[in-house]
Amino acid sequence: MKKNTDKINKGWSIRKHLVRYRYHFILGLIALVIVDLLQLRVPLITGRVTDGLSSPDMTIAILRGEVLLILIIGGSIAVGRFIWRYFIFGASRKIEALIRADYFRHLETLSMTFYNKNKTGDLMAYATNDLNAIRMMVGPGLLMAFDALVLTVLVLYQMLTTINVQLTLVAIIPLPLIAGGSMLLGRSIRNRFRSKQEAFAGMSDMVQENISGIRVIKSYVQEIKEIRAFNIKNRHNYDMNLRVIRLQALMMPLAMMISGLSIAIALGYGGYMTMIGKITLGDFVAFIQYIMMMIWPMIAMGWCINIMSQGNASLTRLTNIMNQKPGIIDLEDASNDSIKEATLEFKHLSYTYPGTDTPVLKDINLTVNKGETLGIIGKTGCGKTTLMNLLVRLYNPPEGTIAIGGHDIYHWTVKSLRRSFGYVPQDNFLFSDTIFNNINFVKNKDLNKDVVDSATLADVHANIEDFTHGYDTIVGERGVTLSGGQKQRISIARAHLIDPLFLVLDDAVSAVDTKTEESILSALKTSRTDKTTIIIAHRISTIQDANQIIVMDEGRIIEQGNHDALMNLKGTYYKLVQKQQLEKIIGEQE
């Protein structure tokens, strides 16, 4: 089976985004160099003024000119700083937005297997903390690294050429210790930051699960238990953050201590050289200012290593996700045409989920002709839903085991295949949006009449009209404000709206009463005379009018035929009918 490798992610990299905004970074760094050059002039002017105050040549006009020059330099530095902030920080924000878009787009391509293995909290952590760390790396981190390098070189050059070589070499001896210490701590910070991000992801996942499952927690009065469990996660997250902060807290005092030593050397040795006349008082003042300017690059080097270490750890985590390959892809010659023929064939279909050893489906052989209704019944876990998941390629079936209209399922692109299906899964997921938009989700058009018609067919229109805001009612997260039956019927309306070639109802009317169920099934039978419908159910009443019914057990079809034929077999189906009829009689008597 030849896959369309053009559609597979061949390796994500942040480099393409850096290249896209390379001119922003270049302009920003040019502005930064200009700012650094302007800053170097200030100590020289200060030194000239200091020496001039003891000289008879100094006049008010000269002093006024020097002050004006400093003001001009100060204004130019302010403008330059605005420019590099605009270009570099602006570019980092744009890159963050692009990476977030890449991430979301990539998540949309990944298969169900990926989501079975990765928790929502973990995935959310990538889009929040990790992305922020990456932005800091390509913005402030890059800026500080370049600024520290350029300013160090320029200040050293200025001190060596305009003040005194000997004094410069003696005074800067302690400063490299700051950069060296920061580099030694960098590896530890990176490892600890990775652990911190993983702890945050675990905590986020627990919060997300508790919010989603709040009804279950409250129903079983487990609030205290969950609070205690959260406190353990929260404490672990706190401890992991503290491990990072301890190293960060160590870097700054270390830098300040070494910087203070450098200033002490400059004051002592520089003062001595001034007293013996090797340098002027103005040179001494300028030199102290240059030493103060040197301290920033050394401290910035530590910050930079910290930011780069954290950003690199986050980039590694994100890249691992971005380079996950989509499991559901098209063949190179797959057709994107609409499917016209509605005959389904399952040929010796067996399936085992990845990472497991026990087959879920075993030698399924079945043909469903155009316009027929197929009913599927069986115990929980017998493979009914798996069969439908393979049919719409939420998972990949073995090649040659499923055919539509005489063509293997891989003959069509995934998009073309799924366009032909209206699928109502067991988990009736509704978005936190209006009822109208939830039904109209697949159309993306203002088709009021079609939406109302589909809601009417699903026997939910009257319920919707009873709401204060009607179809504009916000249903809440996952449809939390609706009953189970209302969610099911809205999901059926959504699937029916596209008038699909195949309609799959996976236990989709289990939460409605028998009268409503009968109304929905009758309407579907009338509207879908030339289209195929597959109904998975536990109630016999849901599927008894189907053209053919299959009974599944432990992944196999153990009985097959219409209602009458299966009743005549007096097998599993017959026993289910007898059991449900007895339960109904007992229920009516109570």
pLDDT tens, 124-147?
878 888 888 899 888 888 888 888
Is 80 exceeded by the pLDDT of residue 2? no
SS3 379: coil
Q: Which residues pair with 376 in a beta bridge?
A: 536, 550
Structural contact between residues 299 and 252, judged by C-beta atoms closer than 8 angstroms: yes
Tokens encoding 569: 């077999």
Half-sphere exposure of 84 (CA within 13 A, CB side): 22
Q: How many Å apart are CA 234 and CA 242, to the nearest integer?
A: 12
CATH number of 425-499: 3.40.50.300
Rounded Cα–Cα distance for residues 44 and 383 (Å): 82
Domain covering 335-420+500-590 assigned CATH 3.40.50.300 in the classification: yes
Strand-pair category, 421-424 with 373-378: unpaired
Classify domain 8-322 at the CATH class level.
mainly alpha
Choose between 589 and 9: higher pLDDT. 589
CB atoms closer than 10 angstroms to residue 252: 13
Spatial distance between the Cα atoms of 33 and 39, rounded to a whole number of angstroms: 10
pLDDT of residue 172: 78
Assess whether the region 335-420+500-590 and the region 425-499 belong to the same CATH fold: yes
CB-based burial of residue 500 (10 Å sphere; 0-12 exposed, 13-18 middle, 19+ buried)? Answer: buried
Sketch the domain layout of the chain as residue ranges: 8-322, 335-420+500-590, 425-499
Q: Judge whether 405 and 341 are in contact, CB under 8 Å.
A: yes
Q: Hey, what amino acid is at 74?
A: G
Over the stretch 333-372, which tens digit does the pLDDT of each residue have?
A: 888 888 887 789 999 999 998 878 889 999 999 999 988 9
Q: Report CA 271 to chain centroid distance, whole Å.
A: 59
* Per-residue pLDDT, 5: 45
Distance, in Å, from the CA atom of 336 to the CA atom of 163, rounded to the nearest integer, reads 75
Start-end of H helices in 138-175 = 142-162, 165-171
- pTM, entire model: 0.76
| Phi–psi pair at 119, nearest 5 degrees | -85, 155
Evaluate whether 394 touches 387 at the Cβ level (below 8 Å). no
**Angle in degrees, CA 204, 206, 210, rounded to 5:** 120
SS3 5: helix
**The pLDDT of residue 8:** 43
Give the model's pLDDT for residue 552.
92
Q: 520, 327 in Cβ contact below 8 A?
A: no
- Which tens digits make up the pLDDT trace of 201-238? 788 878 877 877 776 787 667 888 888 888 998 999 89
